[in-house]
Amino acid sequence: MAKRIVIVSGAGIGIGRATAMAFARQGDMVYVTDILDAEGNAVAEAIRAEGGEAVFRKLDVTRTDEVDAVIAEIDREHGGVDVVVANAGIAHRVPLAELTDDKWDTTLDIDLKGVFRMVRAAAPRMRERRKGAVIAVSSISGMSYGWAEHVQYSAAKAGILGLVRGLAAELGSDGIRVNGVAPGFIRTAQSLSEQHSLGAAKLAAQAPSIPLGRIGEPEDVADVIVFLASDGARYISGQTILVDGGLTIRQG
């Protein structure tokens, strides 16, 4: 079987990094992309050190020109993208009283419009080839929870659910599946940020209220993304799957 070409945004650290590694370990070629040069290059190098295939490309998901250029390179050199993982995201703590238009736009531009830019660029060639899978990273904050002082994040992540459904409806007849994952509490720089999220102590304190009894690791999410891109998920489209250790179904 020909090697699939997978592009992952925000793949320098956290869930994106684990996802890039997971695809590479099962034999796919990975375009590791991020605004973080050193981290992104290190991920591509780590994949190559394991015998996998990866390149790093600097890509800011708020820049249409950068997104289009990297996808055009893949279309030109590899015939097209097989899998898009739109993972890049930020979560900034901003109380409503301080939520200026600019701050709102910054989060929406990365967390929601960034997903749209990736898919818009990859879709034409995917449609021509009549195949492809897209996985966007939402959050429990878009799916089930409200998050105080993060309303722009909650709105963006909820927006991903609608974007996934709309894209799945529009692209399905061309053989392209579009799904999302909604992580719960996952141990990454984002959730460990004292300023913008829970921080280490509060994150650890969540574990007892999670039915599976632990905070998630980036690999827990990466493996679900890999599954959604696989033939095993061939009849799943338009869904966003919670990956939260049972957190949101817990009663009492």
Ligand X SMILES: NC(=O)c1ccc[n+]([C@@H]2O[C@H](COP(=O)([O-])OP(=O)(O)OC[C@H]3O[C@@H](n4cnc5c(N)ncnc54)[C@H](O)[C@@H]3O)[C@@H](O)[C@H]2O)c1
Residue ranges that bind ligand X, judged by CB under 6 A? 9-10, 12-16, 34-36, 60-62, 87-91, 110, 137, 139, 183, 185-186, 188-191
State the nearest-atom distance from the C-beta of 73 to ligand X, in Å: 16
Contacts of 198 (CB under 8 A, 6+ apart): 185, 191, 192, 206
Q: C-alpha angle with apex 132: 227 to 25, nearest 5 degrees?
A: 45
Tell me how far, at minimum, the Cβ of 2 lies from ligand X, in Å: 28
> Which residue has 């709102």 as its token pair?
104
Toward ligand X, which CB reaches closer, 14 or 132? 14
CB of 99 or CB of 198, closer to ligand X: 198
First vs last C-alpha separation in the chain: 49
Told to judge if 31 belongs to the known catalytic residues of this protein, a careful annotator would answer no
CB of 101 to ligand X, least distance (A): 18
Closer to ligand X by Cβ: residue 174 or 217: 217
Which is nearer to ligand X, 120 or 131 (by Cβ)?
A: 120
Report residue 60: phi and psi, to 5°: -95, 120
Report d(CA 19, CA 23) in Å as an integer.
6
CB of 137 to ligand X, least distance (A): 4
Query: CB-based contacts of 59: which residues, under 8 Å, 6+ apart?
Result: 9, 33, 34, 35, 66, 67, 70
Active site (catalytic) residues:
153
